[in-house]
Amino acid sequence: MFDFRPAGYVIGLLVVALGATMIIPMLMDMYDDAEHWKVFALSGFITAIFGGTVALACASEGQEGLSIQQTFFLTTGVWVVLPIFAALPFWFGATHASYTDAFFEAMSGLTTTGSTVFSGLGDLPRGILLWRGLMQWFGGIGIIVVAMVFLPLLKVGGMQIFRTEGFDTFGKVLPRAAEISRTISSIYLALTMLCAICYSVAGQGTFDSIVHAMTTIATGGFANYDDSFGSLGTGSEYIAVVFMLFACLPFVRYVQLVGGSFKPLWHDTQIRSFLMTALSVVILLTLWRFSFVTSGSELALRKAAFNGVSILTGTGYASDDYMRWGSFPITMFFMIGLIGGCAGSTTCSIKVFRFQLLYASLRAQIQRIHSPNGVFMPKYEGRTVAEDVISSVMGFFMLFILSLAVLAVALGMTGLDMITSISGAASALGNIGPGLGAEIGPSGNFANINNTAKWLLAAGMLIGRLELMAVYVLFTRNFWRG
């Protein structure tokens, strides 16, 4: 019989930590002399009590190692349970949101998707805005740990290619996660502080600088204003571009860089491919804007760089309504949103390394056709790629496309139009943020879509954030027999 207790113990502790985190926005509202602080006090109390109860109930098994089934359950369970409680301040608070809207916002925050159902953000208590930023910030560090510890061990979507030796037993998953969390957190915090300082120098207020720094480094995209970065100034846009790119690089390379080794960062083919992709996107969009949208070269470059990098990295900020740029940019935005950044970063979507492995596999196949007697094996960074890695990557692509199609059809069945359904499905699975069209595009939000569609999109955010298979495996009969 499947034993839920080891995973339940960890989930309970994380729920307690989430409740404790609500003290921060509570203090913000107390500082502002806003009665809204009581909402965070109540939400934090409920959250901590529930989490503590679950942890105590499972404590007898909490220190034992995790089996592969328990690790899968833990990975998905965390991202299912935490939004349930992270939604409470929205449900009880000044947003007057239904629980559906509150859960949608919380799932979007913790998965660093960035889709929102709220408008009038500038009029909300600062505690709510800070809570949105904190959710994305913690979600960002959480997904780095998942990508570096859990997904390689679980062999999800080819992530086993990044598996490190010496931690091959599942009994050591939690110590390994704790070790990586401590190392990465210091770098993550340093980048956030540096980004906040730069935003402040660019003219943003202290509060806006901190919140926007958290959502930039998390590549989450929640902003404090309805027009996102539209009115924050030229300097803020350029700074955001730089730090969004920083956040999309593998954080393990920063660890090596801090340790005095620059070579791994420079020679990482995934990083080079990602940066070349970003440069190509910026150049193409700049040329298009300069030729067909605006005659100002600096304005064309800035808007192209900011909005292009924002969608490519899955951050989801907007500083302009790119739905008015023409058909080519709209098509490009849809496509680049499905690329994402590097594995082991806060970014989302398919990720660059999978396209590299797909290309290597196709190249080997073509070489075999040209020379049937030759031996050609796909390689990544000079090393032969194992067959199980290629199979995992191919399976991921197939599953991603199938999931995108099913989710888009399901959204269409709720009454959404074709553009909204397809782009909404891509936005959720890719954790991108805005979709396309007047309703969920860069000048709109997800407030007016029906509740069924919101629950479907929330499920899509979860599935996409955890690389699909980590969620789907829970629905197979054989999984629960182990």
pLDDT value, residue 184: 85
pLDDT of 83 reads 97
Q: For residue 90, which amino acid is it?
A: F
Give the pLDDT confidence score for residue 162 in this predicted structure: 67
Phi-psi group of 212: left, alpha or beta (phi > 0 → left; psi -120 to 50 → alpha; rest → beta): alpha
Instruction: Give the global pTM.
Output: 0.93
pLDDT of 253 reads 87
- Identify the pLDDT of residue 102: 97
* Regions of the chain short of the pLDDT cut 50: 62, 164-171
Tokens of 326: 């023409």
CA distances from 156 to 4, 63, 283, 354, 479 (A): 21, 25, 34, 12, 15
pLDDT given at position 198: 97
**Coil/strand/helix, residue 110:** helix
Cα 349 from Cα 356, distance rounded (Å): 14
Which residues have CB under 8 Å from 373's CB, separation 6+? none
pLDDT, tens digit (0-9, with 9 covering 90-100), for 176-221: 666 667 788 899 999 999 999 999 999 999 999 999 999 999 999 9
Q: 384 Cβ partners below 8 Å, 6+ apart?
A: 377, 378
Q: From CA 113, how far away is CA 431, in angstroms rounded? A: 4
* Domain boundaries, given as residue ranges, for the chain: 1-482
